[in-house]
Structure 1
Amino acid sequence: METYLIPALILGGCGILAGVLLTIASKVFYVKVDERIEKISEALPQANCGACGFAGCADYADAIITKGAPTNLCRPGGADAAGKIADILGTTAAEVVPMTAVVHCSGDCEATKPQFDFDGVQSCKAVKRFYGGNGSCKFGCIGLGDCAAVCEHDAIRIVNGVAKVDPALCGACGQCAAVCPNLLISIKPKTKHIDVLCSSGDNGKATKLACKNGCIGCKMCEKKCPTGAIKVENFHASIDYDKCENCGECMAACPVKVIHTCKV
């Protein structure tokens, strides 16, 4: 009997001692967590997209309390989330600039043609690895919808071979931009309506051979812009949205009509 009883008592005593020590340790090393962190995390949309610059919603909530991070960084949550955070902190809601994604390509099925039929995994990433893509323009939208697949707001559709964003639905989380293998998608303020819908890095002649709608780098837009918001570098026009005033001068000057306006 003693053969079983003594080991059992020893084991039980060790268990009790371990429990006591763990209880004491939990009291000694207890770190009080500000209850506002959990409340702020609950006020966020839980997209965990990283658009705020932090690892996720919980990390952002912690940064607001412990590091004084701005309260208006959540793009998917927008003004609603910023208002809830302000209520929790007892402060005035910070201004939130509504943002949206934009796809810088207009090479639809009429403007450009595929170079070959790809029968592998039907994703833009997979096609990009195969000779740089299957389209005549290696810079353009591949059109197999990797961006649409990751969009939680159902804001992206493939229309005539090109991804299109609905700004009214877009939460500007940036997930689509992250998965696009040709880096065609950027995030811009919804108040800025003028976009260059081409990302070609080829010269004008090569671009026109690959796509009828491509930017030829003629710099007419750059010359007409009164604020210096549009520049042509490496045969490609791009807009500095901080300088753009939506005047439309660049759009009117573009001979290939690759600059478009899109209002929400």
Structure 2
Amino acid sequence: MSIIAITILALCAIGVTAAIILYFVAQKFKVYEDPRIDEVEEALPAANCGGCGYPGCRGFAEALVKADDISNFNCPVGGAAVMSHVGALLGHEVKAADPTVAVVRCNGTCENRPKTNQYDGAASCSIAASLYSGETGCQHGCLGLGECVEACNFDAMYMDEETGLPVIIEDKCVSCGACVKACPNNIIELRKKGPKSRRIFVSCVNKDKGAVAKKACNVACIGCRKCEKECPFDAITVENNLAYIDYNKCKLCRKCVVVCPTNAIHELNFPPRKEKPAAKPDAKTVKPATAKTEVKDAPKAEPKANDSKEETSDNK
């Protein structure tokens, strides 16, 4: 037998032996994976946005299968329809969660918040926030460099060139929370859409004292507590000179909007307010002029010169 043939047989024997060993090792240390994970992953929208709090849809599917109760889980992209489907696959009852949408809590436009300097660095909000407080006197507001827009994977945001602030396209927003994480000043918040997409919120995050905040921005919250006192549902709290409206308690009565002296509270998608008609004078309160009053008010007639002469002649 030649050396080549012996070499080939030896290599084949080694390969077969290694394959057998690897097979038994794989069976010994085999990790069991629930087949329902693949089913749940297929039911998810495959957005891999991380809005659920897990690294992609696969990680979310694994967490759903392992959980005994999935009532606190939510897929912001798929919404209630996807979660109900997942609940049916896993045999759990899922309550429909209220839909949410991203809200920009800053109204510091170029008109309301004049610039005091000019930034000439990297076009990144995170870098700008780490270097200085911003181009205006408000160090809490929007930096206007659009990092939140870049983080959005659904084209649900854009920067308004006129105002210098990001704008949310509500129909495209899936409430994934990517823009919330991207903003270094935490001016973006996920809030309930509300009935008929009506929402009321304080469009300010400035925690400076009233005079300082008002000087930096014309529409800043000054912490005057008028809205807190006006709210009949205890939905408004004022902490660190800043008011906040709890959307779980707010009944959308809009009383707080009227009393805010700086217009820091915004109301979205509400019908225009009806103007109150001018009050008519009440007939009971208006007293008609009487003849007696007319007589009193009438000037007294002065005696004529001829009459005085006749009286003197009679006396004589």
| TM-score, length-scaled by structure 1 | 0.91
Cα distance in structure 1, aligned partners of 2:220 and 2:126? 22
Instruction: Report the Cα offset of residue 30 of structure 1.
Output: 3.6
CA 1:136–1:2 in 2, change beyond 3 Å: closer, same or farther? Answer: farther
Structure 1: give runs of 5+ residues left out of the alignment: none
Matched length: 264
Amino acid at match of 1:50: G
The 8 Å contact of residues 69 and 92 in structure 2, kept in 1 or not, is answered as no
CA gap 1:42/1:120 in 2 versus in 1, 3 angstroms: same
The match for 2:175 among 172, 175, 197 is 172
CA 1:131–1:7 in structure 2 vs 1: closer, same or farther (change >3 Å)?
same
Identify the residue that residue 156 of structure 1 maps to in structure 2.
157
Alpha-carbon distance in 1 for matches of 2:190, 2:7: 67
Q: Deviations over 1:92-143 (max 9, x none)?
A: 5531311111111000010112232222211211221222222221100111
**Once the two structures are superposed, what CA deviation does each residue of 1:157-183 show, in whole Å capped at 9, x if it has no partner?**
222111222322211111001010101
Alignment of 1:197-212 (within 5 A): 197-212=203-218
Shift of 1:26: 3.1
TM-score by length of 2: 0.77
Contact between 2:70 and 2:94, CA under 8 Å: does it hold in 1? no
Aligned-pair distance for 1:251?
1.1
Distance in 2 (CA, whole Å) between partners of 1:2 and 1:120 is 74
Deviating 4+ runs (over 6 angstroms): none
Shift of residue 6, structure 1, vs aligned partner: 4.8
Contact 1:208 1:216 (C-alpha < 8 Å) held by counterparts: yes
Q: How many angstroms apart in 2 are the aligned matches of 1:139 and 1:90?
A: 46
Counterparts of 2:240 and 2:90, CA distance in 1: 48
Name 2:21's counterpart in structure 1: 21
Q: Which residue does 1:223 correspond to in 2?
A: 229
In structure 2, what is the Cα distance between the partners aligned to 1:200 and 1:31? Answer: 52
The letter for the 1-side match of 2:164 is: G
- Secondary structure of 2:48's counterpart equals coil
User: Which runs of 5 or more residues in structure 2 are unaligned?
Assistant: 271-316
Q: Give the structure 2 partner of residue 66 of structure 1.
A: 66
Aligned residue runs from structure 1 range 1-264, under 5 A: 6=6, 8-70=8-70, 73-89=74-90, 94-159=95-160, 160-191=163-194, 193-263=199-269
Where does residue 273 of structure 2 map in the other structure? none
Cα distance in 1 for partners of 2:19, 2:183 equals 52
How far is the alpha carbon of 1:15 from its aligned partner? 1.8
Deviations 1:37-76 (A, max 9, x none): 1121122122323332323211111122122352651011
Question: How much has 1:221 moved relative to structure 2?
Answer: 0.4
Deviations 1:203-250 (A, max 9, x none): 111111111111111110000011111111111111122211111111
SS in 2 for 1:129: helix
Report which structure shows greater RCO (CA 8 Å, sep ≥6). 1
> CA 1:164/1:175 → structure 2, altered by over 3 Å: closer, same or farther?
same
Deviates more, 1:185-194 or 1:143-152: 185-194
Contact residue 37 and residue 61 of structure 1 kept, 8 A: yes
Name the stretch that deviates more: 84-93 or 240-249.
84-93
Stretch moving more, 249-258 or 30-39:
30-39
- What's the secondary structure of 2:82's corresponding residue? helix
Q: Report which stretch shifted further, 24-33 or 153-162.
A: 24-33
In structure 1, C-alpha distance between the alignment counterparts of 2:93 and 2:130, rounded to whole Å: 49
Tell me which residue corresponds to 2:291.
none
Q: In 1, distance between residues paired with 2:12 and 2:114?
A: 76
RMSD after superposition? 2.2
Q: Aligned to 2:80, what secondary structure does the other structure show?
A: helix
Amino acid at match of 2:179: C
